[in-house]
Amino acid sequence: MLADAHAHISDYSEEGLSLALGRAKAKGVEMVVGLGADVETSRRTVSLAKGRPMVYAAVGFHPWFLKGPFTDRDLEDIRALAKEEKVSFIGEIGLDINRNADRFEEQKRIFAQHLDLAKELDLPINVHCRGADRELLELMERQGMPRRGGVAHSYSGGAQLLQAYLDLGFYISIGRGGLRIDPETEKVVKAVPPERLLLETDSSAASSRQENAYEPASVSIIAENVARVRGVSPGELGDVTTANLKKLMRIQ
Ligand SMILES: [Zn+2]
């Protein structure tokens, strides 16, 4: 079986999501984690997860979504949503030097607040990091990882920083980089210990409407490519990565 550890589902219509999940099931996908990126998308993701057995939710504030100021009220809303049924992660949270770089100090503060929230509610985190790996690792080392660990989503820290992420307790999730594996991704894909490897699409309703639809079902393509590089069968890789995600989420 397969699991998509990171997808954006909030933009789908109810029907559109049901159809996409049907196509995913047909490819052997048994679970999908939907990520919020601000209060509104987190709320929508929680609501879509209810009544859909294969869908789980994550709630949090993504650095790209910093439009106005991030307020105490926003944090309270995320806290309330995090207590809802099927919420399995605080995410998508993180640091990104390529967008809203002028608000990088604020990004760090918001990330730190979410980290505290994950600890308070005993949830793992689902983390986005682009071009700011050293700052993220430094912040994590200073503040400490939540007890239940987390996911380095669409990991882009390269082979060099991999050990630092693993030492902190991160699972390493291979995303779009697994569609066409370049030499640096290949190094990472080979080096991640099997018990820390996850697969994801980071897809959205918009990507599902592309000519070559990219959606939760596409995790099967990533699984095939990653399995080839690691020299295992796609079935075995799917089972291992699905079991890893379930262990992290405490699902039997
Ligand atoms: Zn994402």
Residue 226 structure tokens: 């990653």
The predicted model scores a pTM of 0.96
Domain count, the chain: 1
Integer Cα distance of 245 and 27 in angstroms: 18
3-state SS string for the chain: CEEEEEECCCCCCHHHHHHHHHHHHHCCEEEEEEECCCHHHHHHHHHHHCCCCCEEEEECCCHHHCCCCCCHHHHHHHHHHHCCCCEEEEEEEEEECCCCHHHHHHHHHHHHHHHHHHHHHCCCEEEEEECCHHHHHHHHHHHCCCCCCEEECCCCCHHHHHHHHHHHCEEEEECHHHCCCCHHHHHHHHHCCHHHEEECCCCCHHHHCCCCCCCHHHHHHHHHHHHHHHCCCHHHHHHHHHHHHHHHHCCC
CA of 66 to the centre of ligand 1 (A): 15
CA of 91 to the centre of ligand 1 (A): 9
CA of 120 to the centre of ligand 1 (A): 23
CA of 210 to the centre of ligand 1 (A): 17
Q: What was the pLDDT predicted at 3?
A: 98
CA of 212 to the centre of ligand 1 (A): 19
CA of 202 to the centre of ligand 1 (A): 5
Integer Cα distance of 121 and 139 in angstroms: 20
Contacts of the segment 12-19: beta carbons below 8 A, 24+ positions apart? 12/48, 12/205, 12/208, 13/205, 14/48, 16/205, 16/208, 17/48, 17/52, 17/55, 17/205, 18/52
Q: What was the pLDDT predicted at 161?
A: 97
Residues whose Cβ atom is located within 5 A of ion ligand 1: 92, 202
CA of 175 to the centre of ligand 1 (A): 10
CA of 172 to the centre of ligand 1 (A): 14
CA of 141 to the centre of ligand 1 (A): 23
Q: What was the pLDDT predicted at 100?
A: 83
CA of 7 to the centre of ligand 1 (A): 6
CA of 62 to the centre of ligand 1 (A): 8
CA of 128 to the centre of ligand 1 (A): 7
CA of 139 to the centre of ligand 1 (A): 21
CA of 65 to the centre of ligand 1 (A): 11
CATH code assigned at 185: 3.20.20.140
Instruction: Find, among 185, 172, 177, the residue nearest to 221 by Cα.
Output: 177
Q: What was the pLDDT predicted at 27?
A: 98
Per-residue pLDDT of the chain (252 residues; tens, 9 = 90+): 999 999 999 999 999 999 999 999 999 999 999 999 999 999 999 999 999 999 999 999 998 888 888 999 999 999 999 999 999 999 999 999 998 888 899 999 999 999 999 999 999 999 999 999 999 999 999 999 999 999 999 999 999 999 999 999 999 999 999 999 999 999 999 999 999 999 999 999 999 988 888 999 999 999 999 999 999 999 999 999 999 999 999 997
CA of 233 to the centre of ligand 1 (A): 27
* Domain that includes residue 171, residue range: 2-249
